[in-house]
Structure 1
Amino acid sequence: MAKLTKKQKAQAGSVDREKLYGVDEAIGLVKSLATSKFDETVEVAMNLGVDPRHADQMVRGVVNLPKGTGKTVRVAVFAKGAKADEATGAGADKVGAEDLMEEMQAGKLDYDRVIATPDMMGVVGRLGKVLGPKGLMPNPKLGTVTMDVAKAVTDAKSGQVEFRVEKAGIIHAGIGKASFSEGDLKDNFNAFVDAIVKAKPTGAKGKFVQKVSVSSSMGPGVKVDLAEIAGA
């Protein structure tokens, strides 16, 4: 485990590890501790009572954060003809077909989201080993295999976040930047947590949401009182 810097030790000392903070207080504390020279990302981590090795306990989906992510999202779209024009008009960073596939096979993968029309999945399917490990493979359940490419691009650019539970039952995502107002971060926090609660799988047994914490990129985690989370 990496040693903490003096600054990180001082920050950790200002957080009561045993206390469960209200959402407002937790977000305010995280903002006050985000003192790096760059605009730190504010992140939420949730420990869930699931074992994702079982298909009926997988938690996966998308959520639109009402205040955006504060991040510039690069989007690639596999489409032809009118749909390619729609994607370009919506602000996609790259639109193509076989040519885009060849670029990606050559290692040009500077994208945060890949979208495709259904008819292009025969081409995209050849990129399974390239896109899969990076979590970029288009998926109809996530709205990234769709005929409405304009909406998919707009959603991705305006603050849509994909989430997927990890092996240990933990799910996490960035919900904004430390420069956001506390109100905007709270709106995004509530939207993200609500989406996770609603995504509770049929196979989940016992208490679903077991722990929630918020932190900034370089700051300590702050535990949130589950009593403030509806449905937890």
Structure 2
Amino acid sequence: MAKLGKRTRAAREAFAGKEDLTVEAAVALIKGAASAKFDETLEVALNLGVDPRHADQMVRGKVTLPNGTGKTVRVAVFARGDKADEATAAGADIVGAEDLMQEIQGGTINFDRCIATPDMMPIVGRLGKILGPRNLMPNPKVGTVTMDVAEAVKSAKGGEVQFKVEKAGVIHAGIGKVSFGEAELVENVRAFCDAVAKAKPAGAKGSYMQKISLSSTMGPGVSVEVSSAIVI
């Protein structure tokens, strides 16, 4: 077995025997143990009682975190004419049509969020096998297929987080930087968990929100009381 480093051993010792904490206690523990040389991200993982193989149990949505993510989001927009100009004015990093499609087909993906006007979807649809697995495919359900490209760009850059349940029934997201204040991180955790709770699908049976865990990028995880994370 590989020998654990001093930082890893210290973090594990700090977390030993601690579980089902309040959000406040979990955030304080994680902030105190984070010791990487970069500003780690606070990450949340939610285990849901759903089977996303069934359409009526799919969980997908978005939430604007009250204190942002601390991450610089690069946004690409598929649009033409006035809508392309609106996207550029709103701060989009990349704007295009067929030229942008060709860049992506050539393997260049220099963005974290992709937005498209409805008339561009025949072009964007050709990129499904590339953008889909990366969770970058524009979708009207989360507001990334829209005529209001300016608002979509501003939301993406202003702390909006999209979420989608994975095959195993887990949702994972980064919801802030460890350098944020404790109160700011607590607010972000509850805002995210509330959004997932509101997105409960009609086909979900039994216990929906089964487990919530928090961790930093390089640190161990700690479980959080579900009742402490959900305020709706």
Using the size of structure 2 for normalisation, the TM-score is 0.96
Q: Distance in 2 between matches of 1:41 and 1:231?
A: 23
Question: After superposition, what is the alpha-carbon deviation per residue over 1:132-160, rounded to whole angstroms, capped at 9, x for unaligned?
Answer: 11111110001000000000000000111
Contact 1:17–1:223 (Cα < 8 Å) also in 2? no
Q: Which residue identity lines up with residue 99 of structure 2 in the other structure?
A: D
Query: What is the DSSP-based 3-state SS (H/G/I as helix, E as strand, rest coil) of the residue aligned with 2:214?
Result: strand
Aligned 1:3-14 pairs, distance under 5 A:
4-14=4-14
Q: Which residue identity lines up with residue 160 of structure 2 in the other structure?
A: Q
Contact 1:197–1:231 (Cα < 8 Å) also in 2? no
Q: Distance in 2 between matches of 1:148 and 1:4?
A: 51
The equivalent residue for 2:82 is 82
Go from structure 1 to structure 2 and tell me whether the alpha carbon gap of 1:2 and 1:207 turns closer, same or farther (over 3 Å shift). farther
Q: Distance in 1 between matches of 2:111 and 2:187?
A: 26
Kindly indicate whether residue 43 of structure 2 is the aligned counterpart of residue 39 of structure 1.
no
Q: Distance in 2 between matches of 1:162 and 1:171?
A: 10
The equivalent residue for 1:210 is 210
Q: Which residue identity lines up with residue 176 of structure 1 in the other structure?
A: G
The equivalent residue for 2:196 is 196
Go from structure 1 to structure 2 and tell me whether the alpha carbon gap of 1:171 and 1:3 turns closer, same or farther (over 3 Å shift). farther
Q: Which residue identity lines up with residue 163 of structure 1 in the other structure?
A: F
Go from structure 1 to structure 2 and tell me whether the alpha carbon gap of 1:3 and 1:131 turns closer, same or farther (over 3 Å shift). farther
C-alpha displacement at 1:4, in angstroms?
4.3
Query: What is the DSSP-based 3-state SS (H/G/I as helix, E as strand, rest coil) of the residue aligned with 2:15?
Result: coil
Go from structure 1 to structure 2 and tell me whether the alpha carbon gap of 1:2 and 1:152 turns closer, same or farther (over 3 Å shift). farther
Query: What is the DSSP-based 3-state SS (H/G/I as helix, E as strand, rest coil) of the residue aligned with 1:14?
Result: helix
C-alpha displacement at 1:79, in angstroms?
0.5
Query: What is the DSSP-based 3-state SS (H/G/I as helix, E as strand, rest coil) of the residue aligned with 1:43?
Result: strand
Kindly indicate whether residue 113 of structure 2 is the aligned counterpart of residue 113 of structure 1.
yes
Using the size of structure 1 for normalisation, the TM-score is 0.96
Go from structure 1 to structure 2 and tell me whether the alpha carbon gap of 1:60 and 1:2 turns closer, same or farther (over 3 Å shift). farther
Aligned 1:39-188 pairs, distance under 5 A:
39-188=39-188
Contact 1:76–1:93 (Cα < 8 Å) also in 2? yes
C-alpha displacement at 1:227, in angstroms?
2.6
Go from structure 1 to structure 2 and tell me whether the alpha carbon gap of 1:31 and 1:62 turns closer, same or farther (over 3 Å shift). same
Contact 2:52–2:166 (Cα < 8 Å) also in 1? yes
Q: Which residue identity lines up with residue 142 of structure 2 in the other structure?
A: L
C-alpha displacement at 1:36, in angstroms?
0.6
C-alpha displacement at 1:9, in angstroms?
2.3
Query: What is the DSSP-based 3-state SS (H/G/I as helix, E as strand, rest coil) of the residue aligned with 2:68?
Result: coil
Contact 2:190–2:231 (Cα < 8 Å) also in 1? no
Query: What is the DSSP-based 3-state SS (H/G/I as helix, E as strand, rest coil) of the residue aligned with 1:73?
Result: coil
How many residues are aligned here? 232
How big is the alpha-carbon RMSD for the aligned residues of Structure 1 and Structure 2? 1.6
